[in-house]
Amino acid sequence: MRLKQRKRGISKVWVVLVLFACNVTVKSGRHTSWQQYGGGADQSRFMELKQLTKANVSRLQVAWSYPTADSVQYLFSPVIIDTVMYLLAKNNSLVALNAATGKELWIHANLGGITWRGINYWESKDKKDRRLIFCLNNTLQEIDAATGKSIANFGTNGYVSLKEGLGRDPNTFSRVQSTTPGAVFENLILLGSSPGENLFSAPGHLRAYNIITGKLEWVFHTIPHPGEYGYDTWPKDAYKYVGGVNTWGEISVDAQRGIAYFPVGSPTYDYYGADRAGSNLFGNCLLALDARTGKRLWHYQTVHHDLWDYDLTAAPQLIRVKHEGKWVDAVAQATKQGFLFVFDRVTGQPLWPVEERPVPSSDMPGEETWPTQPVPTVIPPFTRHVVRKDDLNPYFTPEQKQHWEKRIAAARTGLFTPPSDQYETMIIPGATGGANLGNSAANPGKGLVYVASMDYASVFKLEKLMPNEGPMTAARNNRAQAVYAQYCQSCHGANRGGGLGPSLLNLGTRVPLENFKTILATGKGQMPGFQHIDEKSVTDLYGFLAGIQSNEAMRARPPKPEPLMPAGPVVASGGIAAPDSIAGRSSKMMRTYPEGVKAPEDHYTTDYGLQYSNLMSPLWSSITAYDLNTGTVKWRAPLGQDERIAKLGGKGTGIPIGSQRKGMIVTSTGLLFATAKGGRLYAFDADNGQVLWTGNLSWETQGLPAMYQVKGRQYIVVSANAPFTNETIDRSNAPGALPRSYVVYALPE
C-alpha cells in the first residue's frame, strides 16, 4: 500500500537542533563581497555597500568593459575575489581580470563544456590555498585562483567523474553535470545536476564532494531506494529507471546552522507519468539537508506527481521576519506556478496555512494524477492562473483574437489541468514560469523578498511517441550536420547543449517528428521559421538531433579541430581532459525498462507549449516585492518594455520571456538593480518600485549581474553579449556601441 502523501517531514534527531536554534540570535552575515555564484552562500543577492544611493544612482556610467571576443552568448555571472574578477570569454576561456580596470591577469583557454552560468570559490583558513571550482564535461575540476592552472592532484588525475555515485551503471548516462555551479560550505562543494528531461535520464541525486581531495562525502537519493523515506511514494522499482528529480537551480545555505536548501525539480518524463504512480518524493520539493552529512532535516513538496514541468529552480531566500509577535528565521521559495511558499527555516512548518485543493484527474491511459495540490492561502500569487478569452492580448488582430477564442473554448484550462492527447491544455504560468532560475532576491534582515517573473502560458497536447525509424547513413548524417551548423548552431550550441535556445540533446524522446517539422517550418518562441529547408533535410536533421546515427555515420564524423589560442596571457588550455566515456555521450544509454518492471504500453510526449509568450494581456514580466512580516505584496512593477507595443501606445507591459536568464541585486541603501530583456539594467527604488535609472546596453543582457567594491568604489558588472530580438530595439550597431562585452558600471571618480 502506498504511503499517503506527506508534504512535510522532520527528522527526529533534528529536534535537538531545533531546541538549540531557539536560543540562537541569528544575524545576517555581512554581504560585502561577491565571492560565490549568486553573491554568497544565502543566494540573497543582497549587498551592504554604501556608495550607491537613491540620490546618486542616476550618475552611474560605464567604468570599463571587457569584450568577449567571440559570438558565444555567455550566461556567466562573474565572481570577484578581493581585487580580481573571474569570468568566461574568448571561446569559453576562464579569464582573471583586475576588477578595477579590466586588465587581463591570466587566461585558462578552451574550457568548452564548462558550467555556463558560473563558478565557485574556496580558500583555506590561512588563504594560501585558493581554488576556483567548476564542472566540465561531466567532471568536477579545480583551478588555482592565483595561477590559472589546473590542480592536478584533485580527485583522480585532476578530476572527479560526476557519472559515478548515482547508483546505476555510469556508462548509461549521457549528461550529468549541472548548468549551475552548486554551493560551497566549509570544505564541501554541494552539487545538483542537469541530466535532461528524457525518459531514462540519469537520477538527480544530490551530492557533496571534499574540495581538497575530491572524495564523495555524501549522496542523498532524491528518488528513494528501498528502506529510505519516501520509497513508497513510487512504484517499487522506480529508483532503477526514473530520471530527474534533480536540482539544476540555485542552492542556498544557512552557514551558521549548516543547513543546505535544495530546490528540487520534477521526475522524467515530465508530462506523462504512467510509469511513476504516486506523489513522487522528493520531486518538486524544497529539501533541507544537513550540509555536512546529507541527512534529511525536512522537506515540503510544492507539486505532487508533477505533470507540468513545475521544477523548483529559483533560490530559496533565507530571511528573518516578525511573525505573530515573534522573530522567526524563515525560508521563502518562489515557484514556476506563481506561488511564494514561506516556511520556518528550521522546522519546515509553513508560516501561513497551505491548503490541499482538489484538482482534475487525467484521462490518459495508465496515468494516476494526485487528487490534490498545495496552494498558499494568505500570500498572494505573483502571476495570474486563469486562461480566458476576456484576458487575451489586446494587441492581437481581430483574426488572431477570433482564432484564440475558438482554441480556448475547445481546450481545458487551469493551473493543474493534466495534459491529454484528446484536446489542448492551456495553463498559466507554463513550463518556464512564473519564477525561474535567478528570479529571486531578498533583504534578509527586513524580511523582504523580490520575485522577477513572467506571465507566460503553455499550450500543449500529448502525442504518442513513435519508435525511431532506424540508422542514418554517413551521407545523410553529414548533410544534417551541415544544416544544423548553418541554421541552428548559433542558438543551440555546437554540442547541441543549448545557449540562447534550449538543449536539443536526445530530442527524439521529447518531440515527435511531425511536431519537429511544424516547429521548424513555423518557428517557436524566439526562433524564426525555416520553411525553405526541404523535407528530406528536415527529416535528416531530426535524425541527427534524435540520435538516430549508425556506426558508419559516427565513424564519418570529421576530427575535432585543434583549439584556437586566444590573444592575451594564456597560462593553460582545456582543463584536465577526461576519457570520452565520461565527457562524451554514452553508447549504452538506457532504452528500455529493467527486467520485471511493468512498463506502460505506450509513451506520450509533447513540446513545452511555449510558442505563445504573449497570448494573454500584459503584464508579461514584472518584479513583485513581498513584505513577509505581514505576508503582503508591497509593490509590483513592469520589468522591461515590448517596443513593438510601445509603438502602438502601450506602456509598462514588460516583455514576453523578459525575466528569464536575468537577475537582481538588492542594496542596504534601498536600491534594487535588475537586468531585463531589451539590453537594459534598471535601478528601482526598493521601497516602492519606481525606476530611478536605466542603463542601455549595446547587446542583450544574460545571466546574473554582480556587485563588488574595490578601494571604496562600488561596481556593477553585467554580461551583455546576446543579439536583440523583435520585441526590442537593436543598439548593437548604434554610434558608440560596445562589442559583446562584460560591462562594468560605477559612479564617476
240 in the same domain as 100: yes
CATH number at residue 187: 2.140.10.10
Please, what is the Cα angle at 17 between 249 and 219, to 5 degrees? Answer: 40
Looking at the domain assignment, is residue 496 inside a domain?
Answer: no
Cα separation, 683 vs 461, whole angstroms: 41
Looking at the domain assignment, is residue 149 inside a domain?
Answer: yes
* Peptide linkage before 416 cis (omega within 30 of 0): no
Q: Which residues sit opposite 623 in a β-bridge?
A: 452, 637
Q: In whole angstroms, how far apart are CA 514 and each of 350, 517, 529?
A: 45, 5, 15
147 in the same domain as 160: yes
Around 384, how many Cα atoms within 13 Å sit in the side-chain half-sphere? 17
Looking at the domain assignment, is residue 102 inside a domain?
Answer: yes
Domain count, the chain: 2
Q: Which residues contact 298 (CB under 8 A, 6 or more apart)?
A: 8, 9, 10, 11, 14, 288, 347, 348
175 in the same domain as 70: no
- Residue 385 CA, chain-centre distance (Å), reads 22
pTM of the model: 0.88
* Peptide linkage before 594 cis (omega within 30 of 0): no
Around 344, how many Cα atoms within 13 Å sit in the side-chain half-sphere? 20
166 in the same domain as 101: yes
184 in the same domain as 63: no
Q: Is 692 helix (H, G, I), strand (E, B) or coil?
A: strand
- Residue 520 CA, chain-centre distance (Å), reads 25
pLDDT tens digit sequence for 104-143: 999 999 999 999 899 999 999 999 999 999 999 999 999 9
Cα separation, 495 vs 504, whole angstroms: 9
Looking at the domain assignment, is residue 15 inside a domain?
Answer: yes
187 in the same domain as 49: no
Looking at the domain assignment, is residue 235 inside a domain?
Answer: yes
Q: Is 638 within 8 Å of 416 (Cβ atoms)?
A: no
pLDDT of residue 25: 32
37 in the same domain as 15: no
Looking at the domain assignment, is residue 254 inside a domain?
Answer: yes
| pLDDT, averaged across the chain | 89
Farthest CA pair distance, the chain: 73
Domain boundary among 531, 550, 584: 584
Domain boundary among 552, 584, 616: 584
Please, what is the Cα angle at 295 between 292 and 300, to 5 degrees? Answer: 120
219 in the same domain as 136: yes
Q: Is 8 within 8 Å of 230 (Cβ atoms)?
A: no
Looking at the domain assignment, is residue 205 inside a domain?
Answer: yes
163 in the same domain as 236: yes
Nearest to 297 by CA among 20, 3, 686, 536: 20
Kind and range of the H or E element at 722?
strand 713-722
**Which three three-digit cell numbers place residue 175?**
549528461
- Residue 527 CA, chain-centre distance (Å), reads 20
145 in the same domain as 244: yes
pLDDT of residue 618: 95
Looking at the domain assignment, is residue 721 inside a domain?
Answer: yes
132 in the same domain as 58: no
* Structural domain boundaries, residue 726: 31-75+693-749
- Alpha helices by DSSP H, 398-549: 398-410, 474-487, 489-492, 513-522, 535-545
166 in the same domain as 113: yes
pLDDT tens digit sequence for 233-291: 999 999 999 999 999 999 999 999 999 999 999 999 999 999 999 999 999 999 999 99
Instruction: For 27-48, give the secondary structure using H, E and C.
Output: CCCCCCCECECCECCCCCCEEC
Nearest to 213 by CA among 275, 133, 100: 133
Sign of torsion over alpha carbons 288, 290, 291, 295: negative
In this prediction, the residues of the chain whose per-residue pLDDT falls under 70 are 1-29, 466-479, 482, 485-487, 490, 494, 498-501, 506, 509, 514, 518, 521-537, 547-561, 585-587
Q: Which residues contact 98 (CB under 8 A, 6 or more apart)?
A: 83, 84, 85, 105
Nearest to 678 by CA among 630, 646, 648: 646
Residue bearing cell 580596470: 101
Q: Which residues contact 428 (CB under 8 A, 6 or more apart)?
A: 383, 384, 385, 386, 387, 415, 455, 456, 457, 458, 615, 616
**Which three three-digit cell numbers place residue 568?**
592575451
Domain boundary among 530, 555, 584: 584
Q: In whole angstroms, how far apart are CA 203 and each of 81, 219, 246, 266, 382?
A: 34, 12, 7, 11, 31
Q: Which bin fits 734, alpha (ψ -120 to 50), beta or left (φ > 0)?
A: beta
